């Protein structure tokens, strides 16, 4: 992760408004770009050997660290099984997968985003294999890749949102650890104290992928327990009104209003004393702002209790794969406790299995708030058409603080009902 710049981070892992509709994102997907097909010159690493057939694996890599880690994992599996695993780095993952599905020759194993998942599950592109695995995934992650009652594919890793605090600004404001905000009122109070002529107290992206955390804290959600549209609720209204109040009071600003492309840039350049981001910010800070010292704290609770958002991908297996059993065996290997911790140490992601949460927190104690958030996180709803709905939602959030919160929710509820009656 440390090799990834903040600019490229805008288009993956957490989906800032710049990239929401431009490309498939969340967690470790590559930035948008052209490209097509598999095994392009300079992109494929042949790993392992033996006579056990072969698998084609397609990923969107966040950088050299991720590529190196996955390459080694595939080699280890190939050495163990005798089945060759050919790794291709996607230049445009969604486009290349769509082309492969259309041609009847997709890769065997590949990254799948939460946005793309419902459509590919519905049209038969994905093999529903995940119920054959013994791994115990976080329930919310499993729900993100469940469609029509079937658990299709194994979550590969994930992140949650937390509050990132500039240590120097915090101390200059006369604040201590005891002042880390535990409630919405606390958050506004410390944001006021941190706001100066050159620095706003808090900055976060103008999009559901950040503002949605406040909705979760208010006790709100996107869908009800039956999977029907349920975004126009008093809880979500309270959340948007709170966000509007932060913005109107001047203690919070969107990144674009402090000459920044995303929350991490606003924070790293110290135009904001706090931001709300996922653990991908760790790599950005190491790469671009190594001298800024910071603390990762849990997001404050709202009227509905604790809440945050989660972002994830799964390991998809093509229904057209000619070597499904080997593909399933590979995924079993990759989501094992040992391999998930290797990935975490290799490029900074959080394991998708609950069994190593304690080990991960011990390895990365300064990031403990991220993994703790898994217990009360909400994910991207697994419904076809969500990308279009959230794109409209984000456009209206960008108009805050001027846009009326109730008008926003009424509009989004109407659009959401069209895809989740």
| Each residue's pLDDT tens digit, 146-187 | 999 999 999 999 999 999 999 999 999 999 999 999 999 999
Asked whether residue 274 carries a pLDDT value surpassing 90, the answer given is: yes
User: Which residues are within 8 A (CB) of 175 and not within 5 positions of it... i.e. 6 or more apart?
Assistant: 190, 193, 194
Token pair of 404 as six digits: 């009326």
Question: Taking residues 30-35, what's their average pLDDT?
Answer: 30
Which residue from 312, 392, 310, 314 is spatially nearest to 127, judged by alpha carbons? 314
Whether 1 is in a domain gets the answer no
Q: Are residues 134 and 190 in the same domain?
A: no
Q: Are residues 292 and 410 in the same domain?
A: yes
| Each residue's pLDDT tens digit, 370-387 | 999 999 999 999 899 999
Domain count, the chain: 2
Proportion of the chain above pLDDT 90, given as a percent: 83
Reported pTM: 0.83
Residue 63: per-residue pLDDT? 82
Q: Are residues 138 and 245 in the same domain?
A: no
Q: Are residues 269 and 314 in the same domain?
A: no
Question: Taking residues 289-300, what's their average pLDDT?
Answer: 97
Asked whether residue 12 carries a pLDDT value surpassing 90, the answer given is: no
Average pLDDT, the chain: 88
Residue 283: per-residue pLDDT? 85
Q: Are residues 277 and 331 in the same domain?
A: no
Question: Taking residues 284-304, what's their average pLDDT?
Answer: 96
Question: Taking residues 301-309, what's their average pLDDT?
Answer: 98
Under the banding of pLDDT at 50, 70 and 90, the label for residue 52 is low
| Distance (Å, whole) CA 127 – CA 317 | 6
| Each residue's pLDDT tens digit, 190-239 | 999 999 999 999 999 999 999 999 999 999 999 999 999 999 999 999 99
Token pair of 84 as six digits: 């060759």
Asked whether residue 4 carries a pLDDT value surpassing 70, the answer given is: no
Residue 347: per-residue pLDDT? 87
Of 51-55, 109-113, 233-237, 288-292, minimum mean pLDDT range: 51-55
Asked whether residue 41 carries a pLDDT value surpassing 90, the answer given is: no
Asked whether residue 15 carries a pLDDT value surpassing 90, the answer given is: no
Whether 288 is in a domain gets the answer yes
User: Please, what is the angle between helix 234-249 and helix 405-417, to 10°?
Assistant: 140
Question: Taking residues 264-283, what's their average pLDDT?
Answer: 95
Residue 342: per-residue pLDDT? 95
| Distance (Å, whole) CA 343 – CA 146 | 24
Q: Do residues 314 and 117 lie in contact, with contact meaning Cβ atoms separated by under 8 Å?
A: yes
Q: Are residues 315 and 304 in the same domain?
A: no
Question: Taking residues 58-64, what's their average pLDDT?
Answer: 89
Q: Are residues 15 and 97 in the same domain?
A: yes
Whether 304 is in a domain gets the answer yes
The CATH number of residue 386's host domain is 3.40.190.10
Q: Are residues 224 and 337 in the same domain?
A: no
Whether 250 is in a domain gets the answer yes
| Each residue's pLDDT tens digit, 66-119 | 999 999 999 999 999 999 999 999 999 999 999 999 999 999 999 999 989 999
Q: Are residues 84 and 175 in the same domain?
A: no
Q: Do residues 230 and 221 lie in contact, with contact meaning Cβ atoms separated by under 8 Å?
A: yes
Asked whether residue 326 carries a pLDDT value surpassing 90, the answer given is: yes
Q: Are residues 303 and 373 in the same domain?
A: no
Of 8-17, 185-194, 224-233, 250-259, minimum mean pLDDT range: 8-17
What are residue 253's phi and psi, to 5 degrees?
Answer: -145, 150
Token pair of 146 as six digits: 């469940």
Q: Do residues 1 and 283 lie in contact, with contact meaning Cβ atoms separated by under 8 Å?
A: yes
Residue 28: per-residue pLDDT? 32
Q: Are residues 305 and 363 in the same domain?
A: no
Q: Which domain holds residue 51?
A: 6-160+310-378
Asked whether residue 23 carries a pLDDT value surpassing 60, the answer given is: no
Q: Are residues 123 and 209 in the same domain?
A: no
């Amino acid at each position: 992760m440390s090799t990834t710049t903040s600019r490229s981070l805008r288009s993956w892992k957490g989906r800032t408004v710049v990239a929401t509709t431009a490309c498939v994102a969340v967690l470790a997907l590559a930035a948008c770009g052209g490209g097509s097909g598999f095994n392009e010159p300079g992109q494929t690493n042949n790993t392992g050997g033996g006579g056990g057939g072969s698998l084609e694996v397609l990923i969107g890599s966040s950088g050299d660290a991720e590529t190196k880690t996955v390459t080694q994992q595939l080699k280890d599996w190939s050495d163990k099984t005798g089945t060759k695993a050919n790794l291709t780095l996607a230049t445009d993952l969604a486009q290349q997968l769509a082309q492969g599905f259309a041609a009847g020759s997709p890769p065997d194993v590949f990254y799948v985003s939460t946005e793309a998942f419902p459509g590919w599950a519905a049209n038969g592109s994905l093999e529903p294999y995940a119920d054959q695995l013994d791994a115990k995934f976080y329930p919310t992650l499993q729900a993100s890749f469940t469609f029509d009652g079937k658990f299709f594919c194994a979550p590969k890793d994930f992140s949650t949102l937390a509050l990132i605090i500039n240590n120097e600004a915090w101390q200059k404001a006369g604040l201590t650890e005891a002042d880390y905000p535990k409630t919405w009122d606390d958050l506004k109070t410390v944001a006021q104290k941190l706001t100066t002529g050159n620095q706003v107290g808090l900055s976060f992206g103008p999009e559901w992928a950040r503002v949605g955390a406040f909705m979760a804290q208010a006790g709100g959600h996107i869908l009800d327990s039956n999977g029907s549209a349920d975004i126009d609720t008093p809880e979500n209204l309270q959340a948007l009104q709170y966000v509007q109040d932060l913005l109107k009071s001047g203690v919070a600003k969107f990144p674009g209003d402090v000459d920044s492309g995303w929350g991490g840039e606003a924070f790293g350049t110290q135009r904001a004393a706090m931001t709300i981001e996922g653990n991908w910010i760790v790599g950005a800070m190491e790469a671009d702002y190594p001298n800024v010292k910071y603390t990762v704290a849990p997001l404050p609770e709202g009227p509905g209790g604790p809440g945050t958002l989660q972002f994830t991908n799964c390991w998809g297996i093509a229904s057209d794969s000619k070597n499904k059993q080997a593909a399933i065996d590979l995924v079993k290997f990759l989501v094992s406790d040992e391999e998930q911790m290797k990935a975490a140490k290799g490029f900074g992601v959080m394991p998708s299995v609950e069994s190593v949460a304690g080990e991960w927190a011990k390895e990365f104690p300064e990031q403990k708030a991220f993994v703790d958030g898994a217990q009360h996180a909400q994910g991207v709803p697994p419904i076809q058409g969500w990308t279009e709905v959230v794109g409209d939602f984000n456009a209206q959030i960008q108009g805050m603080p001027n846009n009326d919160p109730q008008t926003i929710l009424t509009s989004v509820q109407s659009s959401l009902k069209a895809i989740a009656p």
